[in-house]
Amino acid sequence: MRKLSKTNLTILIILLSVALITGLKYFLGSQAGSGPIDPSTARSKGSPQAPLQILEFIDLQCPACAKGHMVLSNYIDYYPGQIYVKLKYFPFASHQHSIRATRYAECAARQEKFWPFVDVLLQEQPRWAGLINAEPAFAQFAQSAALDPQKLNACLSDESIDKIIAESKSEGTSRGVQSTPTYFINNEMIVGWRTLDQYLTSYFARQTSVQIMSTEQ
Amino acid sequence: MPTGFLVSLRMVVGLFFVVVSAEKLVHPYQNFLYVVQSYQVFPPFLEEVIARTIPWAEFFLGLFLVLGLWLGVVLRSFIILLAGFIIIVSQALIRQLPLDDCGCFGGLIKLPLWGTGMLDIGLLIFLIVLVRREKDTAAVSLDKLLPTNEKDQ
């Protein structure tokens, strides 16, 4: 019986390793964009029939998320009816005010003022992210979004919000989210605002080319 | 340095790379792509290539280091790889890129940028030691047990 040569063993190890890693990847279910979206923990904006369906996982204290939010908002304004966004929370423990900001955002949602509040929150993020106590800033944003103070205070201590945040983050983790912002655009995973911008630029440029060609015909 | 220590060091370094790279490989590659993009060094096409290939390179090099297979090539490849990592991290530090935000290195290891640089330098030093004592490093290895080609059997 011939001895196994080093080259043959190397090839065998490579093939087995690839098979193992690939199998592990599918077993752990780390397929980007897979599975139905839990609607109870999403905040949405736009037309549900829009051709671009974007699921966004963000941390409200994440600078790149604030930038991504601005980029996305610009595209939504420039291409009305083309984009439907569902936002989910993915706060990091390393961000001191992230959970609290998320609680405020969720409470704003209960008064149907989620997007106006989050817009201000993310726009003013450089102002509050470095503070030791960001509570006065959040209260000010709540006031500018015209939130009812009594309902807000009652909501901020509501323990069900913890469950929403946990479920939202768990869903993100199961989809393979590790960093924020992470987007799933028609189930395709995009990480970071730069890649989002490139994707949307490319998408709408193609759409414009198709329209021009159709018009010429 | 005793041979046993060098062999153990070789295996520990190899195992480190196997574990870290496997974590990247079982998760969507887009996460590592984001990390590569964050360093703002490469053009988009190359970022994509790097994000898809470097974890596999780390994995196999790490595995072969543990097993003691093709040690000469593997040790030198790792030195080149780590030198590249150190250059990239250094330029990010000099340019003060915001790389500590948002769990950018989400996974098993969370380090500030300077910590990543220190870790890479430490690993490079270990590998240089292993190369300088290559014969002892290969004392317990598949390289010693197996012939390179059929005529050696």
**pLDDT tens digits along A22-42:** 998 887 765 555 555 555 656
Mean pLDDT of B93-102: 73
Q: What's the full length of chain A, in residues? A: 217
Contact A19/B at CB under 8 A: no
Yes or no, beta carbons of A7 and B59 under 8 Å apart? no
Q: How far is A150 from chain B (nearest CA, A)?
A: 33
CA angle B144, B147, B152 (to 5 degrees): 130
C-alpha closest to that of A192 among A85, A72, A98: A72
Rounded mean pLDDT of chain B? 87
- Specify the pLDDT at position B105: 43
Please, which residues 48-67 of chain A have a Cβ atom closer than 8 Å to chain B? 59, 62-65
Contact A199/B at CB under 8 A: no
pLDDT band (50, 70, 90) for residue A105: very high
C-alpha closest to that of B105 among B118, B115, B95, B93: B115
- Whole-number Å distance between alpha carbons of A12 and A29: 26
- Whole-number Å distance between alpha carbons of B95 and B147: 49
Q: What percent of chain B has pLDDT over 70?
A: 89
Contact (Cβ atoms closer than 8 angstroms) between residue A99 and residue A62 = no
Residues of B in contact with A3 (CB under 8 A): 146-147, 153
Residues of A in contact with B27 (CB under 8 A): 25, 30, 176, 178
Q: Which two tokens stand for residue A87?
A: 């936002």
pLDDT in tens, B28-39: 899 999 889 888
Q: In A132-158, which positions are buried (b, 16+ CB within 10 angstroms) versus exposed (e)?
A: eebeebbeebbeebebeeeebeebbee
- Specify the pLDDT at position B153: 42
Q: For the ranges A41-55, A190-204, B42-56, B87-101, which has the lowest average pLDDT?
A: B87-101
> Hey, how many other C-beta atoms are within 10 angstroms of the C-beta on B117?
18
Yes or no, beta carbons of B103 and A92 under 8 Å apart? yes
- Whole-number Å distance between alpha carbons of A172 and A181: 11
Yes or no, beta carbons of A6 and B26 under 8 Å apart? no
Confidence check: pLDDT of B84 > 60: yes
Contact A178/B at CB under 8 A: yes
Contact (Cβ atoms closer than 8 angstroms) between residue B107 and residue B24 = yes
Distance of CA A188 to the CA centre of its chain: 12
Rounded mean pLDDT of chain A? 88
- Whole-number Å distance between alpha carbons of A40 and A163: 11
Kindly provide the ipTM of the predicted complex, given to two decimals: 0.84
- Specify the pLDDT at position A153: 92
> Hey, how many other C-beta atoms are within 10 angstroms of the C-beta on B53?
11
- In terms of Cβ atoms closer than 10 Å to its own Cβ (0-12, 13-18, 19+), residue B45 is exposed
The 3-state DSSP class for residue A157 equals: coil
- Whole-number Å distance between alpha carbons of B96 and A110: 40
Confidence check: pLDDT of B102 > 50: no
- Whole-number Å distance between alpha carbons of A134 and A126: 11
C-alpha closest to that of A110 among A144, A152, A49: A152
pLDDT in tens, A132-152: 999 999 999 999 999 999 999
Q: Which two tokens stand for residue A19?
A: 């098979």
pLDDT band (50, 70, 90) for residue A3: low
Q: In B62-79, which positions are buried (b, 16+ CB within 10 angstroms) versus exposed (e)?
A: bbbbbbbbbbeebbebbb
Mean pLDDT of A170-175: 90
- Specify the pLDDT at position B100: 56
- Specify the pLDDT at position B80: 96
Residues of A in contact with B38 (CB under 8 A): 192
Partner residues linked to A88 by β-bridges = A57
pLDDT in tens, B115-150: 888 989 999 999 999 999 999 999 999 998 886 654
Q: What percent of chain A has pLDDT over 70?
A: 91
Mean pLDDT of A65-89: 94
- Whole-number Å distance between alpha carbons of A160 and A216: 56
Q: What are phi and psi of B71, to 5 degrees?
A: -55, -40
H or E element: which one contains A38? none
- Whole-number Å distance between alpha carbons of B103 and B109: 10
pLDDT band (50, 70, 90) for residue A208: confident
- Specify the pLDDT at position B152: 44
- Specify the pLDDT at position B130: 94
- Specify the pLDDT at position A210: 74
B64: Cβ–Cβ under 8 A, 6 or more apart, which residues? Answer: A10, A13, B14, B70, B71, B74
Confidence check: pLDDT of B63 > 90: yes
Q: How far is B116 from chain A (nearest CA, A)?
A: 17
